[in-house]
Amino acid sequence: MLKRYSRQIILSNIGEKGQKKLLNSKAVIIGCGALGTVAANNLARAGVGNIVIVDRDFVELSNLQRQMLFSEEDVGEPKAISAAKNLKIVNSQINLDAVVADLNHTNVQELLKDADVVLDATDNIQTRMLVNDVCIMEEIPWIYTGAIGTSGMIMTILPSGPCLRCLYPNIPKPGSLPTCDTLGVLNTATMIMGSMESTEAIKILLGEYDGEKILDGTLVVYDAWNNSIDHIVVKKADECVCCTKGEFEFLNADEKEIITSLCGRNAMQITPASPKKIKLLELASKLENLGEVKATDFLVLFKIDDYEISIFRDSRAIIKGTSDGNVAKSLYARYIGT
């Protein structure tokens, strides 16, 4: 089996001992878009033995410009399922676990359990802060990464801090930051940042905790168009509520129903307070006299009036055509149930 990784083993940085470490490691990738597909591809080919891919969304045609694991044949499938399926063709000897779910305070601890490293490939600051809470509390190294326009940023966060709250003590309000949908994104920028992130993950899995070798405490900002790179030193904040005071406000949220605005897409996601498994074919049958319906093994796509509703088996729904949470709740109750 090690023959597969022969070009990697001859690197003095890794060797046979390091390769065996990778094969016995577990990485959790949160999000499987532009960054997540690059990271998942790199780690699977590098021989990280256990990879969990968590994503709540499904493949759309507009994703193919930058999300390298998908093809036209994957459009309409959940991203996590498609990514794992396509990576199995690349490396059938590792464990790939596809999780179609919205990571939130109700499931995050279970999803990150036993991880040796967590890779951020999400599209919103609230989810990142939640990951930050759990990784600091559970002492799991994680890598914050983002890309938009022609640039990106990355920072490796160790349990000792500094953490993401040290970098962003005042959390931006939802919808206040630009997104790929509003500003656009260069596919080479996401590939570069995803590769930087997976390199950091490999170093962590090999035990390279030397601050000179990983980006711990350093925010790196890279602009692919202008060929510029900047390093910003981040200090552990004496008053940081997370890594200094040990207060995990995102993890300890007590909201019943989770309503999320999705990355500039004029869409809302609803995760009910008490999720239950939905029989998709039965739901599709119920809705077919009301509007246009398409059912797959993973979701029901329902179009009515100016709205497009994607309903997943776990009772989660993405409602396109509105950025109003109350409208989304009303549509959910009307067509799916309370």
Residues 139-189 pLDDT 10s:
999 999 999 899 999 999 999 889 999 999 887 655 545 666 657 889 999
Model pLDDT, residue 85? 97
Within 8 A by CB and 6+ apart from 118, the residues are 27, 28, 29, 30, 112, 131, 135, 140, 141, 142, 143
Cβ-contact 233, 211 below 8 angstroms: no
Angle formed at CA 53 by CA 50 and CA 57, multiple of 5 degrees: 170
3-state helix, strand, coil in the chain (%, to 5): 35, 25, 40
Q: Residue 198, SS3?
A: helix
CA distance 180 to 263: 8
In this structure, are residues 83 and 32 in contact, taking their beta carbons and an 8 Å threshold? yes
Strand-pair category, 258-261 with 267-271: antiparallel
What would be the CATH architecture of the domain defined by 2-233?
A: 3-Layer(aba) Sandwich (3.40)
> How many CA atoms, within 13 angstroms, populate the side-chain half-sphere of residue 108?
25
Residue 293: how many other CB atoms lie within 10 Å: 18
pLDDT band with cut points at 50, 70 and 90 for residue 208: confident
| pLDDT score of 36 more than 60 | yes
pLDDT 10s digits, 109-137: 999 999 999 999 998 788 899 999 999 99
The model's confidence at residue 2, banded by pLDDT at 50, 70 and 90, is confident
Nearest to residue 120, comparing CAs of 259, 26, 258, 27? Answer: 27
User: How does pLDDT run across 228-250, given as a tens digit for each residue?
Assistant: 999 999 999 999 999 999 999 88
pLDDT at 68 over 60: yes
DSSP state of 236: P
**Lowest mean pLDDT, pick from 74-78, 89-93, 264-268, 278-282:** 264-268
Q: How confident is the model at residue 211 (pLDDT cuts 50, 70, 90)?
A: low
* pLDDT interval class at 272 (50, 70, 90): confident
Residue 337: predicted pLDDT: 73
pLDDT of the residue at 242: 95
Compute the mean pLDDT over every residue in the chain, rounded to the nearest whole number: 89
pLDDT at residue 157, rounded to an integer: 95
What architecture (CATH level 2) is domain 258-335? Answer: 2-Layer Sandwich (3.30)
Contact 120, 54 (CB under 8 A): no
What digits encode the pLDDT tens for the residues 76-115? 899 999 999 999 999 999 999 999 988 988 899 999 999 9
* pLDDT at residue 179, rounded to an integer: 64
Find out whether 125 and 177 touch, Cβ atoms under 8 Å: yes
- Calculate mean pLDDT across residues 260-272: 78
Give mean pLDDT, residues 211-236.
89
Cβ atoms of 57 and 318 within 8 Å: the answer is: yes
The stretch 223-231 carries a mean pLDDT of 95
Give the torsion through C-alpha atoms of 155, 156, 157, 159, to 10 deg: -170
pLDDT beyond 70 at 38: yes
Looking up tokens 């168009």 gives 225
Query: What percent of the chain lies above the pLDDT cut of 70?
Result: 92
Long-range CB contact pairs, 290-293, < 8 A, 24+: 290/335
Q: Where are the domains of the chain?
A: 2-233, 258-335
Q: What is the 3-state secondary structure (H, E, C) of 276-338?
A: CCCCHHHHHHHHCCCCEEEECCCEEEEEECCEEEEEECCCCEEEECCCCHHHHHHHHHHHCCC
* Token duo for residue 186: 């260069």
pTM of the predicted protein model:
0.84
In this prediction, residue 257 carries a pLDDT of 65
What residues contact residue 83 under an 8 Å CB cut-off, 6+ apart?
32, 36, 37, 40, 53, 55, 69, 70, 98
Higher pLDDT, 215 or 318: 318
What pLDDT was estimated at residue 255? 59
Q: Do 178 and 253 touch, CB atoms closer than 8 A?
A: no
Q: Give the end-to-end CA distance of the chain in Å, rounded to a whole number.
A: 51
